[in-house]
Amino acid sequence: MTQEKFIQIGGRVVDETDSSKGIPEATVSIMQDGKIIKTTKTDKDGYFKFSGLKEGEYILKATKNEKEVIEEITLQKPERVDESEQIDESYGNIKIIIW
C-alpha cells in the first residue's frame, strides 16, 4: 500500500520598503475552494510554515493591522527517485510583501 505524500511550504512576510525586515505576528492563512485550510502567525522574523498539504490550487492570505495581501499558488509534489524518503516534502519559500 502506498502512503499518501504531503507537501510542506514556508515563507516570509516582509516590509515592502525593506525586504530584509520580516513582519512578526502577521496572520497567514492557506485556503482552498473558498475555505480556510490552516492558519498560523509569523514568528518574530516574519517566517511561517504549513505542512500536511496535498497537491492543488491554493490561496495564501497574509494580514496585519488591516492590511492584506493575497497570493495564488499551485502545489505539486516534486519528482522522487527514492520512495523511502520522508513523507513531508518541501515546496520552497514564498515571500509575501505587504508593507
The bridge status of strand 47-53 relative to strand 6-15 is: antiparallel
**Residue 70 counted as domain residue:** yes
Q: How many C-beta neighbours within 10 Å does residue 89 have?
A: 17
pLDDT tens-digit readout, 52-96: 898 899 999 999 988 888 888 888 776 554 444 443 344 445 555
Cell of 79: 519528482
pLDDT tens-digit readout, 5-51: 788 888 899 888 888 889 999 999 999 999 999 999 999 999 999 98
Question: For 34, how many CA atoms within 13 A lie in the half-sphere containing its CB?
Answer: 0
**Residue 44 counted as domain residue:** yes
Tally of domains in the chain: 1
Look at the pTM and tell me if it is higher than 0.85: no
**Residue 77 counted as domain residue:** yes
**Residue 1 counted as domain residue:** no
C-alpha closest to that of 61 among 72, 45, 75: 72
**Residue 90 counted as domain residue:** yes
**Residue 56 counted as domain residue:** yes
